[in-house]
Amino acid sequence: MLLVIFIITTTPIVNDLDVDLPAAAKRPKDPKSTVKYVTVESSGHMYLNKDEVDLASLQEKLVGMRLEEPDLNVVIRGSAKTKYQNIVNVMDVLQQANVGKVNLATEPYPDGAAKKE
C-alpha cells in the first residue's frame, strides 16, 4: 500500500520532447478580490469595515461597492452574544444588495473538536 501511495504522489521523471511551441499574448492575472467585513457587536452596533453603519446605510454602501467590484466578498463577524436576528438582518441586506459571496467568521475550539452540550 505504501509503495502505491509513493508511486502516485511522486512526480515521474519524463524526458520531454523538444517542441517549438507557438507564442501567445500574456493574460494579466485577475486581481484578488478584497474582503469587506460587517461586524455586529452584542449591543447591536454594526460596522462595515471600521465605519459604524445602520441597516439602511449598510445596504447603500454595499450597493455602491458592488458597482465597483461585482465579485464582492463579505465576511460577517458577529459576537457570540449577538442576537441571532441581528445577523439575519445583515444577511437580508447582503442579499438585497446582491452580494453572492458571504461567509461567517468563527473561532475554532481550543481542542479542535466540536462542542458537545
* Contact predicate 103/74, CB 8 Å: yes
Dihedral through CA 75, CA 80, CA 84, CA 87, nearest 10? -20
Task: State the pairing for strand pair 73-78/101-104.
Answer: parallel
Dihedral pair phi/psi, residue 20, rounded to 5°:
-85, 95
Domain 35-104 -> CATH class = alpha beta
DSSP letter (8 states) at residue 113: S
pLDDT 10s digits, 12-48: 555 567 767 777 777 777 667 689 999 999 999 999 9
pLDDT 10s digits, 45-74: 999 999 999 999 999 999 999 999 988 999
Q: With H, G, I as helix, E, B as strand and everything else as coil, classify residue 107.
A: coil
93/113: higher pLDDT? 93
pTM tops 0.85, yes or no:
no
